[in-house]
Amino acid sequence: MIVSTKQLFEHAYGNYAVGAYNINNLEQTMGLFRGCIDSKAPFIIQISKGARSYTNKLMLEAMIRTAGDIFPDAIFAVHLDHGDEEACMDCIESGFYSSVMIDASDQPFDGNIETTKRVVDAAHAKDIAVEAELGQLGGVEEHVSVSEEDAHLTDPAQVEEFVHRTNCDSLACAIGTSHGAYKFTSSQGLHFEVIEEVRRRLPGFPIVMHGSSSVPQDEVKRINAAGGEMKGAKGVDEAQISKAGKMGVTKVNIDTDGRLVWCRVHREFFRDKPEVFDLRKPGIVFMDEYAKYIVHKNDVLGSSGKIDAVRKLVSK
């Protein structure tokens, strides 16, 4: 059943986080639904602009609809990840999405507000929620000093004005993470002081964490042992993710970890079975392994076992 992100956030806020998983293809979709059913977890399935153009946006929408039929017990929301204004308007028009993210975080404060507000007005007219972004995620490179890194973090002093003027429904905050597999060079981690201050200023308002993959070291080792080159890959500590989920971080975005599972499965598969050329063979292994990863991650987020309570809430 497709539900609104608002309903998911209402149930989760302050207790656990909902996993927002990116998908690009059939195998990811099947693994994700299976993993969430196995762990009885509500979830958000999200589609980036890149995913929409990888094959065709209609293909992804049809796959998600069909997965909902195959797994009738699933409780999930459908979200546009990192949309620009054009992609947001297109998704709002389509009527299929529960929520859209307008990412105007590269614009100055007032420009970000104006763009976000235009999307919010169009989305709310159709009862669709909007995630906005304040602050900028980036790569943490060796040459970036702490103060430069800090300059990209969300400034909590701006969040009340931003939310008030845009009327957005959730806020992606830069709290020390970055996208991809190379997030940290040493022991850096989440800036809990930023989360705490945003929560103090906006009590009850859902905070979104992007760049939340944990880049499991075992996965990286196996990829490298099977011919990959991912030296120095590092993600967010899972204990920190669990902690953030109790502090108002209500949506946790994960894409890279799923790609790592895909990469490890396929590298090992073709290393160990060089005679095989049937794409379904590694596909089956991937769907199983991805479902297992999702079960584990929903445990970390605390969303496991919450599906029935959410079902009750949405059927009221």
Position closest to Zn ion via CB: 210
- C-alpha pair distances (Å), 142 with each of 145, 149, 183, 184, 230: 8, 11, 11, 9, 16
Q: Going by C-beta distance under 8 Å and a sequence separation of 6 or more, which residues neighbour residue 203?
A: none
Judged by beta carbon, residue 22 or residue 116, the one nearer ligand G3H is 22
Under rule CB under 6 A, which residues in 71-110 are in contact with ligand 13P? 81-82
Judged by beta carbon, residue 152 or residue 165, the one nearer ligand G3H is 152
Contact between 210 and Zn ion by CB under 5 A: the answer reads yes
Contact between 211 and ligand 13P by CB under 6 A: the answer reads yes
Smallest gap from residue 69 Cβ to ligand G3H (A): 25
Total interface residues for ligand 13P by CB under 6 A: 14
Contact between 183 and Zn ion by CB under 5 A: the answer reads no
Phi, psi angle pair for 260, to nearest 5°:
-65, -40
Helix (H) / strand (E) element for 16: namely none
Three-state SS at 83: strand
Judged by beta carbon, residue 27 or residue 255, the one nearer ligand 13P is 255
Judged by beta carbon, residue 138 or residue 284, the one nearer ligand 13P is 138
Write each residue from 227 to 256 as x if it is in contact with ligand 13P (CB under 6 A), else as -, in one continuous string.
--------------------------xxxx
Question: What is the C-alpha separation between 177 and 266, in angstroms, rounded?
Answer: 27
DSSP letter string over 134-171? ES------TT--HHHHHHHS--GGGHHHHHHHH--SEE
Give contact residues for ligand 13P (rule: CB under 6 A).
Answer: 22, 81-82, 179-180, 210-213, 253-257
